[in-house]
């Protein structure tokens, strides 16, 4: 390897690439505005939406309310429920979202209650429709309060203490620090975003420096120069790697800056809990991203050089993105944890170890295993890229 020749190729390709506005946008602007939009934007929207839902009155219908005058009165008094007149087409109205729920009282509901019976109350609603389910929650809150009043009355009539119904009392006490609780919420999406930015940051330069050059007719000129194939591959690879890492680092800096200057919005996202990523955790994530970026850069180079044109490279890499994002999405599923088996699955392992880091854990043995496994995959991808560049039928595929 002639390092001087490699650096010449690197400087030349990087200079040409930085003249492209799309590269500058992907490297700097997009990562810098991404997390402020996610934090400030989503925090504001979440806060306003929650306040709106709390003040919203859900249209509800009471069927045969005369069978339960006491409970019906409590439902009418709820500030979250708007009681509409009874109608036979309540099911159609719920399906059309004109009505959120309907409460059907059985015959002699109140008589059964007073007689110690256990009548069944039916609540008709639209499953999987959020406002309909929210209406059901508000109805059940009123019913639970009424149920407690009935139980208290029955206990008093039987001269029994209220504690007789609950001989054992449970109380949940979280031993996790508030920042770890907030970190666990953030860990559901941020590892996916890091992998996404690491991959997308390498896409455009990889395609432009290979398929783009073949399409422009400049690849032959470069190959005819005195610079060797290894030096050309290494120079182009370093450019793609630098752009990918720069995109990831800028996104991390954007995140840390946003968490520092927009703490109020961040707390709205995490329901009042603050969160900050330590320097050691941030450096560990960047260390793990390095072999992943190498893997992405080399894989994209190997795929792009086989394409006839920039458009064909986009089509091929589009299919790769599906397989690359799938493990990252699997890492977001609750219950999928970092184990010796998942630590060797590419992309998924980085996603899972990042989740551990964001929740305040630094499992160094597993981190080392993930780092080594990703380095092995990166080495194979880099070797594949070099083989593609040395294959004349691939380089000059017309």
Domain boundary residue among 164, 192, 215?
Answer: 164
Domain boundary residue among 164, 198, 222?
Answer: 164
Domain boundary residue among 138, 164, 190?
Answer: 164
The pLDDT tens digits for 46-57 are 777 777 766 789
Q: Give residue 130's pLDDT.
A: 86
**280 and 304 part of one domain:** yes
Report the CATH number at residue 159.
3.40.1710.10
Confidence of residue 180 (pLDDT cuts 50, 70, 90): low
**226 and 332 part of one domain:** yes
Long-range contacts of 333-339 (CB under 8 A, 24+ apart): 334/188, 338/363, 338/366, 338/370
Answer yes or no: is 170 within a domain.
Answer: no
**191 and 314 part of one domain:** yes
Answer yes or no: is 134 within a domain.
Answer: yes
Answer yes or no: is 193 within a domain.
Answer: yes
Please give the average per-residue pLDDT across 170-176, as a whole number.
75
Residue of 263, 273, 268 lying closest to 174 (CA atoms): 273
Residues sharing a CB contact under 8 Å with residue 143, sequence separation 6 or more, in sequence order: 71, 121
Domain that holds residue 135: 56-164
Among 70-84, 281-295, 307-321, top mean pLDDT goes to 70-84
Answer yes or no: is 51 within a domain.
Answer: no
Phi-psi region of 376 (alpha: psi -120 to 50; beta: other; left: phi over 0): alpha
**252 and 204 part of one domain:** yes
Alpha helices in the chain (DSSP H): 3-18, 21-24, 30-36, 42-55, 69-77, 90-95, 109-114, 130-157, 178-186, 190-207, 213-216, 219-223, 229-261, 263-269, 279-304, 310-330, 348-358, 364-390, 392-395
How many CB atoms within 10 Å of residue 299? 24
| 161: phi then psi, degrees, rounded to nearest 5 | -70, 150
Q: What are the CA-CA distances from residue 140 to residues 56, 63, 147, 261 (Å)?
A: 16, 16, 10, 41
**218 and 146 part of one domain:** no
Answer yes or no: is 169 within a domain.
Answer: no
Answer yes or no: is 239 within a domain.
Answer: yes
Beta strand 58-63 with 81-84 is parallel
**75 and 10 part of one domain:** no
Q: How far is CA 126 from the centre of its chain?
A: 27
The pLDDT tens digits for 184-235 are 666 667 777 788 888 888 888 899 888 888 888 788 787 778 888 888 888 9
Answer yes or no: is 172 within a domain.
Answer: no
**137 and 216 part of one domain:** no
How many CB atoms within 10 Å of residue 92? 11
**183 and 301 part of one domain:** yes
Are 369 and 205 a contacting pair, CB within 8 Å? no
**202 and 330 part of one domain:** yes
Phi-psi region of 168 (alpha: psi -120 to 50; beta: other; left: phi over 0): beta
**159 and 270 part of one domain:** no
Query: How many domains in the chain?
Result: 2
3-state DSSP assignment of residue 189? coil
**191 and 273 part of one domain:** yes
From CA 239, how far away is CA 304, in angstroms rounded? 15
Token pair listed for 225: 């120069």
Residues sharing a CB contact under 8 Å with residue 307, sequence separation 6 or more, in sequence order: 207, 210, 211, 214, 313, 316
Answer yes or no: is 45 within a domain.
Answer: no
**113 and 204 part of one domain:** no
The whole-chain average pLDDT of the chain stands at 83
Q: Indicate whether this model's pTM tops 0.75.
A: no
From CA 103, how far away is CA 140, in angstroms rounded? 10
């Amino acid at each position: 390897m002639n390092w001087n020749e490699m650096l010449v190729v690197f400087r030349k390709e990087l200079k040409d690439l930085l003249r492209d506005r799309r590269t500058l946008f992907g490297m700097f602007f997009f990562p810098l505005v991404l997390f402020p939009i996610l934090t400030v934007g989503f925090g504001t929207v979440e806060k306003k939406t929650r306040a709106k839902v709390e003040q919203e009155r859900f249209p509800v219908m009471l069927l045969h309310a005369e069978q339960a005058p006491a409970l019906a009165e409590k439902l009418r008094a709820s500030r979250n429920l708007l009681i509409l007149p009874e109608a036979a087409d309540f099911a159609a109205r719920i399906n059309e979202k004109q009505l959120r729920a309907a409460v059907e009282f059985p015959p002699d509901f109140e008589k059964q209650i007073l007689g110690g019976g256990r009548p069944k109350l039916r609540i008709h609603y639209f499953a999987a429709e959020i406002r309909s389910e929210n209406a059901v929650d508000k109805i059940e809150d009123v019913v639970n309060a009424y149920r407690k009043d009935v139980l208290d009355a029955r206990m008093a009539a039987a001269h029994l203490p209220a504690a007789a119904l609950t001989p054992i009392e449970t109380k949940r006490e979280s031993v996790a620090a508030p920042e770890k609780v907030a970190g666990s919420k953030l860990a559901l999406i941020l590892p996916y975003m890091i992998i996404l930015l690491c991959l997308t940051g390498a896409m455009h330069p990889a395609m432009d420096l290979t398929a783009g050059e073949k399409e422009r007719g400049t690849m032959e000129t470069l190959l005819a120069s005195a610079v060797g194939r290894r030096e050309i591959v290494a120079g182009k690879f370093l450019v793609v790697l630098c752009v990918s890492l720069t995109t990831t680092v800028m996104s991390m800096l954007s995140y840390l800056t946003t968490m520092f200057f927009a703490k109020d919005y961040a707390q709205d996202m995490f329901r009042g809990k603050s969160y900050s990523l330590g320097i050691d955790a941030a450096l560990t994530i960047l260390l793990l991203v390095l072999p992943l970026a190498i893997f992405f850069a080399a894989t994209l180079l190997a795929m792009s050089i086989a394409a006839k044109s920039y458009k064909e490279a986009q089509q091929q890499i589009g299919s790769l993105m599906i397989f690359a994002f799938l493990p990252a999405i699997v890492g977001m599923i609750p219950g999928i944890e970092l184990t010796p088996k998942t630590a060797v699955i590419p992309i998924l392992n980085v996603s899972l170890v990042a989740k551990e880091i964001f929740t305040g854990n630094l499992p160094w043995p597993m981190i080392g295993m993930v780092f080594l496994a990703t380095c092995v995959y990166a080495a194979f991808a880099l070797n594949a890229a070099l083989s593609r560049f040395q294959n004349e039928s691939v380089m000059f595929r017309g």
